[in-house]
Structure formats: structure tokens, C-alpha cells
Amino acid sequence: MTGGSQPIERLDRFMARANSVYYATHDPFADFATAPEISQVFGEILGLWAAVVWRALGSPSPVLLVEAGPGRGTLMADALRAIGRAAPDFGGALRLHLIEASPRLRALQAARLPVATWHEGLDTLPDGPLLLLANEFLDALPIRQFVWRAGRWMERHVGPDGFVEMPLAEAGGRLPGLLPGVPSDGTVLEHNAAALAFATALARRFAHVAGAALFLDYGPARRGFGDSLQAIAGGRPANPLAPAGSGDLTAHVDFQAVAEAAQAAGARVHGPVPQGPFLAALGLFQRTNRLARHLEPARASALMQAAQRLAEPDRMGRLFKALALSSPGGALLPGFEPG
């Protein structure tokens, strides 16, 4: 860690502080590649997904097109290019808004998306119909971890020499959520209050205003026990408890918990479904094939390999999931239809 003077702090607070420092001082895309950086087709088909959903909502104008955690702006730049070519009516109606806290990343996004308006959270978005895209956003939100020790739950904190387990004192010792099973000694349970709050806020909005949100991220479809906290630094797995800001900290998304929170707040929930079949249903391979026909063989092969990386079950196609929220009573969204 960072020496004996480091105070003990709850894991979620350490994670939030560490990622804030990391994104303010590092280029995360030097350490890892997200789907938009792997293939331009990813952003293109998500842009067209938004266009189809917009029409299903009755083509409201204006409509907010929002991305949460937009990285370098690659996904949205690709999405807008596809929208301008295939859905210019949607392009004319949309107003672009980005949820991004890092000044460094905002500057990168502004170079590609100069017409955007930036926000630190959902609460400052204007009123009105909304379509939101979020790729690998929920996984970076801070988690709490609880450990079952000798018949009681302890909560993990971070101290100078690593994890410190302290008795769970909140709410009379109760956990913030339901157990996925019977714990044994050493069992770890994770809870992401920030992800649930984000989904709940969207769902409450959709209960009154037309809209939809699409999340693509990694984690299991059903709630379970386990320690999924991880860090990437220099392109390699790293110690998540290294000095704050030295690596990017993430954890698996509890899709079941996110879905239940959104449904309880009034939204219709779609999925989760594996990313591979979802992207395939949206035309990942058809679009890739069309692009590849006009490229030299080496570039065409790289484009096809990128699509396979996004969709194949043993790569990103199964671990990554798609989950959507929408206004209640609406139609089933594209990519979530029964196979």
C-alpha cells in the first residue's frame, strides 16, 4: 500500500478514490481495450439500435442521446457516423450528453464530440425523452465486500498492509441485499450500491418519460458469492490494493441485482443476455463483412477477428452481457427477442 500513515477506509471509498486518481492521471486505453476500440462496428450498431428504439418510442424530438462513461468518445463517434448515414431523422432530433467526471477524459471526448454537453451524473440531465448507452461503465463503480467469518459477516476495509476485516455494524448487522445461498467460512459477498442507484434513477425517470438504456458489461447473469475485484496496470493484471490511482479497478456486475432494482422502481427490464448473441442479432457480422469486402486482405482479416473477439463465447461473447431498461408497457427492444 502507501505506508503506515494510510488511514483505514471502507473498500468502496478506496475504490472510488483510486479510480478518480487513475482516470485523472492515466490513459486507460494504454492499459486495456474496450469493445469500441476493438471494432468500429460495435459503436455503429449501437447507434442504429438507439435509432430503432427512438422510432419505437414515437420519434420524440428533441431526444437526449446520452453515454455514461464515454472513454475517448470512440463509441459515440462511431454511433453518430452510422446514425448520420442511416437515420438522419434521428440525428436531427438528438441532443448529445455525456456523463463523465474526469477532466482529462472530457478533453479527449471534446476533440471528437464538440457538440456534447457534459455531466457528472444523471441528476443534471435535462428533462425529456432519453436514450442512454453505457459500455463497461457499471463495472468501474465502487463495490463493498463482506466476508463470512466464524458465523458473522465482516466488512472489508483497506489499510496500510492490505485488507482489514471489521464487524458489520450498519443496519443492526444486516447486509444490504439478499444472499444468493448459504455462506461458508471465508465466503465473499459483493454489493454495488452505486450501480443499483444509477439503475433506480433511470427506472424512475422512465416511469414518467419515454426512454431506454442499454448496458454492456461483464459479470454473471445470476447473483452469486465470490471476490471479483481486479486491477489492470500497464496492460497486465495488478494488485487492486496497490497505491490508489496506480491501476484501473473494476468488479463484475451483478446483473440480477441491477435488473431487480430497476424493475422495483418501475422500469421494464430486458435481459441480461450474452453479448455475443446480442451483437449478432444487431448485425455485427453482416456489417463487418460489408466493410471487409472493401479492404485489403490483412485489414479485412483484422476486422473479422475483431468481430469474433467481441462475440465468441470463449472470449467476450459469454462473460459480457447486455441488459436494457425501458419505459413500462413498451415493446421488446432489439436484440432481446426470443431466439
Q: What is residue 108's predicted lDDT score, i.e. its pLDDT?
A: 93
**pLDDT score for 313:** 93
Residue type, 128: G
| DSSP H helix total and E strand total for the chain | 11, 15
Domains assigned to the chain: 31-141+192-219+254-326 (3.40.50.150)
- DSSP letters along 74-112, please? HHHHHHHHHHHHH-HHHHHHEEEEEE---HHHHHHHHHH
pTM of the model: 0.94
Instruction: Compute φ and ψ for 133, nearest 5 degrees.
Output: -115, 140
**pLDDT at 268 (0 to 100):** 97
The C-alpha atoms of residue 101 and residue 215 are separated, in whole angstroms, by: 18
- pLDDT value at position 2? 39
Which of the 8 DSSP states describes residue 170? Answer: G
Tens-place pLDDT, residues 178-229: 899 999 999 999 999 999 999 999 999 999 999 999 999 999 999 999 999 9
pLDDT in tens, the chain (339 residues): 334 456 899 999 999 999 999 988 887 666 667 999 999 999 999 999 999 999 999 999 999 999 999 999 999 999 999 999 999 999 999 999 999 999 999 999 999 999 999 999 999 999 999 999 999 999 999 999 999 999 999 999 999 999 999 998 654 567 888 899 999 999 999 999 999 999 999 999 999 999 999 999 999 999 999 999 999 988 889 999 998 888 999 999 999 999 999 999 999 999 999 999 999 999 999 999 999 998 898 999 999 999 999 999 999 989 999 999 999 988 899 999 886
- The tens digit of pLDDT for each residue in 269-284 reads 999 999 999 999 999 9
Q: What is the structure's pLDDT at 24? A: 85
Q: What pLDDT, on the 0 to 100 scale, is given for residue 172?
A: 54
* Cα distance between residue 155 and residue 163, in whole Å: 10
pLDDT for the residue numbered 267 = 97
Contacts of 88 (CB under 8 A, 6+ apart): none
Q: What is the pLDDT of residue 4?
A: 45
Per-residue pLDDT, 32: 67
Cα distance between residue 65 and residue 264, in whole Å: 24
pLDDT of residue 1: 37
